[in-house]
Structure 1
């Protein structure tokens, strides 16, 4: 994910916002940790805003996960965008996800990424790397909020 973030930063500084969108979309297809997801949604939202697609920008800002380091900045920019649009209410998460998917912006975790993390978890567990396996499960639990993943995460810890 670090390479996606670095490339998005460089492209944003060069004001190549369509390319920011393309790279962020690719990153979101494979993202599974909340901080990476938050950062990519934040960056893609701003790029859409600059390019004039306010509805998609609003949706992407709304999809920035709560309680991440970028969340306050995303919330502030979303408020500015809503004011610019003459709106006072944020879209629901369902509305935001529907708009993002309509525009080809993946909403993590993708089935492929979730499957890959599950496969990695099994391989790590089978080979005795329980702590690393627990980290994979932990990140998926934080994204999906599925209670069973919390139990699996805890069961892998010593």
Structure 2
């Protein structure tokens, strides 16, 4: 009899957990829906960060809904994706390249776009490798220069 009673208790506990979980999900969906409505009413762009900030104001606990919760909850995520406007990125690559390189070629522009995909750490590693090769090249050029001077001046 103790087996069935403990089994019944664990089933009741699981049912309670499931009910609590569903209530929290429903609460999250309602708050996200309200936050999106408010943002749209004010004409603000609908982004994850703005939804999370607005949800703090709307939540009765003041904690709000985190960005990760919005993405993990399928209903919240769907609401966000339907309401979000595409973020327009500024194209500063051309301006940056023109300010540092006089009349860049098409190949340099393509190279700039390629390098912009790399992380800072990857770029730093590449810069260090290039600096090392440059130092070796300068040393080799010095030796070659001395050799040419000796041959031409007869030293």
Bin for the TM-score computed over the shorter chain: under 0.3
TM-score using structure 2 length: 0.27
Instruction: Point out which structure has higher relative CO (alpha carbons under 8 A, 6+ apart).
Output: 1
TM-score using structure 1 length: 0.27
Work out which of the two has the higher radius of gyration on C-alpha atoms and give 1 or 2: 2
